[in-house]
């Protein structure tokens, strides 16, 4: 596999709060927003974002009160231009009053600057591969607006679009858990993507909407999906090696009584996973794509890559620490999640790789002053050598 391009951000530029100044033009629009308490505009949106990023890069900070205490430190105040430490009331007001939508352009800009972590023929054939999925965050008991299955279950759902070959999140939305994932995906569609989604997004109208948006799809359908076969394709040796058992071009999904909501022929590929299902029989996935040009094994591989978004959710919750909620307001929680995604993007921009636990730990040591830039660089070079030896 070819060596990935050089990361666009040098390690030296991330010392302390310097990594924020490196992207100063992106943070600048946030300066126009401030918490206005009795006409005293002393706490600004960019300062709040910086504190949240400090929270994610400092494992010792585990609560809003700890963050407020950190804001009282002289070095933090000097770096952020804070005349005094914001109180808990000010931090709560910031979470409630600031517009989370202002962070979306920052997220998109940083994602655009990320470099590919996968290259070669597969990445070229599956260009634009974007995994879409949702993950539940357990809400606090007092968050009654987040009712889920019953009165005892409250939750939030993060709807994420994940650029597979860059290893970064490119779009996100936070909603109460009791919502439609399909509707959320329909609202976030854009051109030039190859969306890959699991069976929870199996909707013929959604597939048609993806095509009308100027994108393509690889999605899993229910095993009993009805279709009208147009052409049975031969399954080659490489495809069989990838678990493909059947490859069919269908002129229409659904029965004769269904409206053709996709609007064009699609490809159906059956893939044996090598595992047993809940009933003990071999598990076979039914994948659907509009990409008639792809080899069947690449269709199977594209769906396999969907697992990367699941790994990213684990990183976000377990390593970056996004499970602990700092607000009870949906807007404040959305800001917190966007800040977590921005923090993750900064790791990717620094390393030129997907966020990993050991690399994140090394960066935390660096920000805390325990590791030098040279030691971080040696860590990255060691990762690169390991990747070259395994390729």
Cα 135 from Cα 137, distance rounded (Å) = 7
How many degrees, rounded to 5, is the angle at CA 163 between CA 208 and CA 270? 55
Q: What H or E segment, with its residue span, contains residue 42?
A: strand 40-44
Across-strand partners of 231? 249
pTM of the shown model: 0.89
CA dist 137 to 140, 158, 260, 279, 318, Å? 10, 8, 36, 30, 12
Across-strand partners of 206? none
Cα 164 from Cα 123, distance rounded (Å) = 9
Angle between helices 330-351 and 357-368 (to 10 degrees): 90
Question: Are 380 and 348 a contacting pair, CB within 8 Å?
Answer: no
Cα 67 from Cα 58, distance rounded (Å) = 10
Across-strand partners of 238? none
Burial string for 318-330 (b: 16+ CB within 10 Å, else e) reads: ebbbbeebbbbeb
Q: Which two tokens stand for residue 183?
A: 């509707």
Q: For residue 29, report the phi and psi dihedrals to the nearest 5 degrees.
A: -60, -20
pLDDT of residue 185: 97
Among 33, 28, 64, 58, smallest CA distance to 333 is for 64
Helix, strand or coil, per DSSP, at residue 43? strand
Alpha-carbon torsion angle 289, 290, 295, 297, nearest 10 = -10
pLDDT of residue 1: 46
pLDDT of residue 379: 85
Cα 97 from Cα 85, distance rounded (Å) = 18
CA dist 353 to 39, 84, 199, 367, Å? 45, 37, 29, 19
CA dist 154 to 158, 177, 192, Å? 14, 8, 36
Angle between helices 104-113 and 330-351 (to 10 degrees): 20
Question: Are 192 and 216 a contacting pair, CB within 8 Å?
Answer: no
Cα 165 from Cα 129, distance rounded (Å) = 7
Per-residue pLDDT tens listing for the chain (391 residues): 455 555 555 555 545 566 666 677 788 889 888 886 555 667 899 999 989 988 888 888 888 898 899 888 888 888 888 888 888 989 999 999 999 999 999 999 999 999 888 888 999 999 999 999 999 999 888 888 888 887 788 899 999 999 999 999 999 999 999 999 999 999 999 999 999 999 999 999 999 999 999 999 999 999 899 999 999 999 999 999 999 999 999 999 988 888 899 999 999 999 998 887 767 788 899 999 999 999 999 999 999 999 999 999 999 998 888 888 899 999 999 999 999 999 999 888 877 777 778 888 888 887 777 888 788 888 888 877 776 676 5
How many degrees, rounded to 5, is the angle at CA 181 between CA 180 and CA 186? 100
């Amino acid at each position: 596999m070819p060596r990935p391009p050089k990361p666009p951000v040098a390690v030296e530029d991330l010392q302390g709060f310097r990594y924020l100044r490196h992207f100063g033009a992106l943070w600048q629009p946030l300066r126009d927003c401030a918490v206005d308490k009795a006409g005293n505009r002393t706490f600004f949106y960019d300062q709040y974002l910086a504190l949240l990023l400090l929270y994610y890069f400092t494992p010792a900070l585990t609560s809003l009160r700890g963050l407020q205490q950190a804001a009282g430190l002289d070095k933090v105040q000097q770096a952020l231009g804070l005349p005094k430490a914001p109180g808990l009331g000010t931090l709560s007001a910031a979470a409630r009053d600031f517009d989370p939508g202002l962070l979306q352009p920052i997220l998109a800009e940083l994602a655009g600057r990320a470099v590919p972590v996968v290259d070669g023929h597969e990445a070229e054939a599956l260009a634009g591969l974007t995994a879409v999925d949702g993950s539940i965050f357990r809400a606090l008991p007092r968050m009654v607006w987040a009712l889920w299955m019953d009165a005892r279950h409250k939750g939030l759902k993060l709807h994420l679009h994940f650029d597979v070959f860059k290893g970064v999140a490119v779009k996100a939305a936070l909603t109460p858990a009791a919502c439609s994932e399909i509707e959320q995906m329909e609202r976030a569609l854009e051109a030039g993507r190859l969306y890959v989604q699991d069976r929870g997004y199996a909707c013929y109208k959604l597939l048609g909407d993806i095509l009308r948006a100027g994108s393509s799809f690889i999605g899993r359908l229910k095993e009993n999906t009805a279709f009208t076969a147009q052409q049975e394709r031969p399954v080659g040796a490489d495809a069989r090696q990838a678990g493909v058992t059947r490859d069919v071009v269908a002129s229409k999904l659904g029965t004769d009584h269904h409206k053709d909501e996709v609007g064009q022929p699609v490809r159906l590929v059956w893939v044996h996973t090598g595992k047993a299902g809940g009933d003990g029989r071999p598990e076979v996935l039914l994948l659907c794509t509009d990409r008639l040009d792809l080899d069947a094994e690449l269709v199977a591989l594209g769906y396999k890559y969907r697992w990367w978004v699941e790994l990213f959710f684990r990183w976000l919750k377990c390593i970056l620490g996004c499970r602990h909620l700092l607000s009870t307001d949906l807007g404040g929680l959305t800001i917190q999640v966007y800040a977590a995604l921005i923090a993750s993007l900064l790791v990717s921009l620094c390393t030129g790789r997907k966020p990993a636990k050991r690399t994140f730990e090394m960066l935390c040591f660096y920000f805390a002053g325990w590791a030098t830039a040279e030691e971080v660089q040696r860590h990255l070079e060691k990762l690169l050598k390991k990747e070259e030896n395994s390729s």
